[in-house]
Amino acid sequence: MIKLTVQRKNNQIEEFVFEKSSIKIGEGGEEIDLSLSEESLHPCHVEIYEHDGFFYIFNRANDPFVALNELPFRKKSLCGKDVLMVGKTRIEIEAHPAKKNEEVLSPTGPLISQSESKHAHSEGHGTANLQKSEILPPPPTLEEANQQEFSLYAPQNPSKRVNEDPSLEIVPPQHVPEGSLSLSSLAPKPCLAKNEELKAPLSMAQKSWRFTLSLGAMILAFITLLSGIAYLKFNNESDRDEIKAAQAVADAAMALSYAQMARLKPHKSNWSQPEFLKTSLAPILPLDTKPLIDVDAQGKFKNCPYLLRIYTSGDLSHFLVIAQPAPSTLQWLLPRSAIVLDSASMEMRKTADLKNLNRLLVNINSLDELNSNEIFNIAKEGKLIRLSSLKLSKRVREFTPPKALSLLRPGAENYIYNAPRYHRFGENILNKAIALLEGPVNDQQVSALKQDIEALKKLPNLVLYTTKGIEGALQAEKALSIFVPNTPFLIGYLKLSSQGNIIQNSMLMNEEIGPASGEAATDKPVNKDIKVQGPLSIAAENTQAPPSHLHSNPVYLQLDKLFNNRKNALHPIHTKMEELISKERIGTTSDFHPQFQELLKEHEKIALEQREIFKEAFFKLQEEYWMIPLKEWMEYIQATGLTPLVEDILVDLPKENFLSPGAFENALRKIRDSHNFDELYSQVKEITAHLSLNFFPSIQRLIEYQNTYKNEVIIMIDKFLLSSGEKLTVLSSSTQEILDDIFKLIWVNSPTEREFYLHELNLLIQETESKKNLSEPASLQQILN
Q: Domains of the chain: which residue ranges?
A: 2-150+186-197, 230-385, 403-507, 524-652, 661-775
Distance CA 675, CA 695 (A): 28
Query: If you compute the radius of gyration of the chain from its CA atoms, what whole number of angstroms results?
Result: 49
For helices 592-624 and 554-586, the axis angle rounded to 10 degrees is 180
- The predicted model scores a pTM of 0.49
CA angle centred on 194, ends 193 and 200, rounded to 5°:
95
| Bridge partners for 13 per DSSP | 7
**Which 8-state DSSP code applies to residue 528?**
S
Residue count of the chain: 785
Distance CA 247, CA 235 (A): 18
Number of separate helices (H) and strands (E) present in the chain: 24, 21
Amino acid at 19: E
Exposed/middle/buried for 228, CB within 10 Å: 0-12, 13-18, 19+? Answer: exposed
Interacting residues of 388 by C-beta distance below 8 A, sequence separation 6+:
399, 400, 401, 413
pLDDT at res. 422: 92
Residue 606: count other Cβ atoms within 10 Å of its Cβ: 17
If the chain, 785 residues long, is cut into consecutive pieces of 10 residues, what is the mean pLDDT of each piece?
85 87 84 83 88 88 89 87 88 77 41 38 41 43 46 43 42 46 44 43 68 90 90 84 91 91 80 87 86 87 90 84 86 84 92 86 70 81 88 69 84 91 90 83 80 87 89 85 79 84 78 42 35 34 46 73 85 85 77 82 86 84 76 80 80 67 84 86 83 72 82 84 67 79 80 78 78 58 47
Answer for the pair 573, 684: CB distance below 8 angstroms, yes or no: no
Q: Are strands 71-72 and 66-68 parallel, antiparallel or unpaired?
A: antiparallel
Distance CA 487, CA 472 (A): 18
Exposed/middle/buried for 172, CB within 10 Å: 0-12, 13-18, 19+? Answer: exposed
CA 489 to chain centre: 30
**Which 8-state DSSP code applies to residue 673?**
T
Distance CA 715, CA 683 (A): 14
Answer for the pair 727, 721: CB distance below 8 angstroms, yes or no: yes
Comparing CA positions, the residue from 312, 324, 303, 289 lying closest to residue 370 is: 312
Query: For the domain with range 2-150+186-197, which CATH number is right: 2.120.10.30, 3.40.50.720, 2.60.200.20, 3.40.50.300?
Result: 2.60.200.20
Amino acid at 67: A
**Which 8-state DSSP code applies to residue 513?**
B
For helices 469-483 and 443-456, the axis angle rounded to 10 degrees is 110
Backbone angles phi, psi at 502, to 5 degrees: -80, 120
- Whole-Å CA distances, 302 to 107, 130, 296, 328, 658: 93, 92, 7, 15, 63
Interacting residues of 296 by C-beta distance below 8 A, sequence separation 6+:
274, 302
Answer for the pair 458, 452: CB distance below 8 angstroms, yes or no: no
Comparing CA positions, the residue from 51, 53, 54 lying closest to residue 79 is: 54
Amino acid at 531: K
Reduced to 3 states (helix: H, G, I; strand: E, B; else coil), residue 760 is: helix
Comparing CA positions, the residue from 169, 166, 18 lying closest to residue 104 is: 18
Reduced to 3 states (helix: H, G, I; strand: E, B; else coil), residue 2 is: strand
Distance CA 44, CA 34 (A): 10
Give the DSSP H/E element, type plus range, for residue 669: helix 661-672
Reduced to 3 states (helix: H, G, I; strand: E, B; else coil), residue 391 is: coil
Residue 201: count other Cβ atoms within 10 Å of its Cβ: 9
Task: Kindly tell me the sign of the dihedral angle through the C-alpha atoms of 404, 405, 406, 410.
Answer: positive
Interacting residues of 702 by C-beta distance below 8 A, sequence separation 6+:
630, 691, 692, 693, 696
Residue 348, CB half-sphere, CA atoms under 13 Å: how many?
Answer: 32
| Bridge partners for 104 per DSSP | 112
Distance CA 235, CA 252 (A): 26
CA 670 to chain centre: 32
CA 400 to chain centre: 16
pLDDT at res. 349: 93
Answer for the pair 168, 153: CB distance below 8 angstroms, yes or no: yes
